[in-house]
Chain A
Amino acid sequence: MLFATAISLIFFWVPEDAEDPAQRIFYFHVPIALTAYTCFGWGAWKALRLLWKRTESADLESYVAIHQGTIFGALTLVTGSLWAKATWGHWWLWSSRQLVLFLVLFLFYCAYFMLRFSIEPGPRRANLSAVYALFGVVLTPVSFLAIRLAEDFIHPTVFTRDGPQMTASMFTTFCVCVAAMITLFAALYSIELAGKRVDERIRELREALG
Chain B
Amino acid sequence: MSEKYVAAAYLVVFVAVLAYVAIIGMKLARLEAALADLVERVRARG
Taking beta carbons and an 8 Å cutoff, which residues of A are in contact with B? 7, 20-22, 24-25, 28-29, 32, 71, 74-75, 78-79, 82-83, 85-87, 184, 188, 191-192, 195, 198-199, 202, 205-206, 209
Contact = CB atoms under 8 A, between A and B. Distances in A.
Contacts of A86: 1-2, 5-6
A25 B38 contact: no
A202 B12 contact: no
The B interface is mostly helix, strand or loop, or mixed, namely: helix
Interface residues of B, number: 23
Interface in B1-46: 1-3, 5-6, 8-10, 12-13, 16-17, 20, 24, 27-28, 31, 34-35, 38, 41-42, 45
B12 A75 contact: yes
Contacts of B38: 202, 205-206, 209
Contacts of A74: 16
A22 B5 contact: yes
Given A71-B20, A75-B13, A79-B13, A199 B5 contact: no
A181 to B, nearest CB: 9
A86 B2 CA distance: 5
Given A192-B24, A209-B41, A79 B9 contact: yes
Nearest to A85: B5
A86 B7 CA distance: 11
A202 B17 contact: no
Contact of A202 (B9, B13, B20, B35): B35
A180 to B, nearest CB: 11
A191 B24 contact: yes
B20 A188 contact: yes
Given A79-B13, A188-B20, A24 B6 contact: yes
B5 A25 contact: yes
A195 B24 CA distance: 8
